[in-house]
A and B are shown apart, each in its own frame.
Chain A
């Protein structure tokens, strides 16, 4: 592998690794999502700095120009990461759904409780109901698109 392209590949994977570590340090990225990124960074760095392994891989899968194998491996990781995110999004939207249903049930219960006749000194027991209507409206419009 040409020394210039090797240098670029090493530099690229080092920058990726450092960026991921820095984001974890600043709590911009949770560890559980960082792990896959770190793994891909480490593997790419290893392949970039050890041309023998890369040549072996490219020979094994029939690639004539070894640096291309680096892209193939990187692409594989990209696919893996995307799949990982899709599953994370699925889980999040399911959790959001459950939260929205729970919230609606709780609000209904609070409304019921507030409608019940209260004794004179029980007035302070009233529970807050839903947010002001305007706020809810705005939220609904943004998220229902």
Chain B
């Protein structure tokens, strides 16, 4: 048994055949300690084939589950293969794989932290090209979460994250369905796990269409706000052994 911790980078992808190979190669080059797992979320193009050609491990979901279900499949994979750390990286080239080392460094420096989150708003020179409506939403969620969670949350919608074993266990059992990032922070807090943010660079998307179009952003706001309010009323979203069965089929896979 080696004492070297194992790292997994999960790349959820839905119709990202243009950018996926670049992301995989960049991960291999800039973050070699990470094994790469692409979760193909029922793509209708050849995302899965491209990822397999680039020698990533591929989970192919039989139909589109949405980002939450895809990332959760990654958590389950990480749990079953006993990875010590799991990172989540977007398939569209928005995240810079080289910055993963920064997340790993932050995780190693503070052992009490269970999730490290890359924030695009902590650097001085952030020129993140997001529409105003979207940015307003992010800041509203950030303000709300910062009141609940100890410590300031600046970028709650960022999907550039590193999780340790405890966080993997939690989210493999229960992870929000669509637009999961904001809710996940609240879940983490409700289960007394800790997070911290580190500043990272993010790019505009490399290609394809974002899962959040302008038409959907109103729905996004309302849905996440509802989830937050409900989440506040629910201290322990995940069932413990011995509890009554919840709405869900079983506590995760």
Contacts and interface: CB of A to CB of B under 8 A. Distances in A.
A91 B249 contact: yes
Interface in B32-59: 39, 42-44, 57-59
A140 B250 contact: no
A64 interface: no
Contacts, number: 73
Interface in A85-106: 87, 90-91, 94-95, 97-98, 100-105
Interface stretch (B72-80, B93-101, B136-144, B213-221): B72-80
A104 B249 contact: no
A95 B69 CA distance: 11
Contacts of A95: 248-249
A42 to B, nearest CB: 28
Instruction: Label chain B's interface by main secondary structure.
Output: loop
B247 A144 contact: no
B130 interface: no
B62 A94 contact: no
A140 B59 contact: no
Interface string B183-202: 00000000000000000000
B72 A101 contact: yes
A58 B57 CA distance: 66
9 contacts: A91-B248, A97-B65, A100-B69, A104-B61, A104-B62, A105-B73, A140-B63, A140-B64, A141-B44
Given A100-B63, A137-B44, 20 more contacts: A91-B249, A94-B248, A97-B65, A97-B69, A97-B72, A97-B177, A100-B62, A100-B69, A101-B69, A101-B253, A102-B253, A104-B61, A104-B73, A105-B253, A107-B59, A130-B60, A136-B60, A140-B44, A141-B44, A144-B64
